[in-house]
Structure 1
Amino acid sequence: MAIRRHPHQIKTMLRKILLSLLGIVLGTVVLFGAALALAQTRVAKDQISGLIESSLEGEQQTAEVEDLSGFLPFDIRIGRFSLADDEGRWLEVDNARVKLAPTPLLRGEVVIEEAGAARVAVQRAPNLPPPPEPPPAPETDEPFSLPAAP
């Protein structure tokens, strides 16, 4: 037995579905806008600077990011950036800027429109620990051969 709905009920149901979809879209836009606005605050930029520093630091390397500014994440400016090891600073960058194209970011792509710095100074090669020894190759009496194609 088929359920018959009155045309008024169908219109009401469609209206509820459309309003729900509109609410989801508007909610997403508002959340994205709020996140974008939050990223422009000094507190957020200081947090992001700290994240950059901690991701670049290691046992024998420290990083400094000073004066992160610009309209994040599309126009990133760093007043001063440096990397140092146990012998001191080996890289200094002043007034760096990276400008990203906004539309590709929404697709998960990074397109750099502009990049530059007022000064980049590489004082010396970094003092890095030696790379670990590669594992020894397995000894075999058989010559190398490619697997058979299916």
Structure 2
Amino acid sequence: MAFDLQPASSAYLDFARKLTCETMLGYYIRHDLLWQDEAFDVAWAGRESWLVRQDGVVVGYVSLSRDARALYIRELHVIAAVRGQGAGAWVIEEVLQMARKERRPALRLTVFKDNPAQALYQRMGLQVVGEDECFLRMERDCRL
């Protein structure tokens, strides 16, 4: 099964919003945060998003932002049917290569403390560099 990335147009906004809400709403509820479709839509418009495809079928997406210090994974979600099949690890490796190509010093992301995806991020070399009440901030040096 081959994965690839394809730029995500605004036509995929509904797909991305629904997938994100499905995967994240439980965390929002447990941490007493408010999910807002409008806030998601604004964030989507300001980020670079890529569709994750498996054998040509869209199975998820990743959204990125940048500054001088890092390339940031803002969202990374795959549909339930393909979780555990390597899509997340593949996407992180692709984004890491983007960061290196762009000469960004670091790859960064934020994850809920109780999200099991943090184990994947640690396996991919990201380390916890900070935390607050419900989130961990993780980072990997891209210069290595």
What is the TM-score of this pair, normalised by structure 2?
0.30
TM-score (norm 1): 0.30
Structure number with higher strand proportion: 2
Structure showing greater relative contact order (alpha-carbon pairs closer than 8 Å, 6 or more residues apart): 2
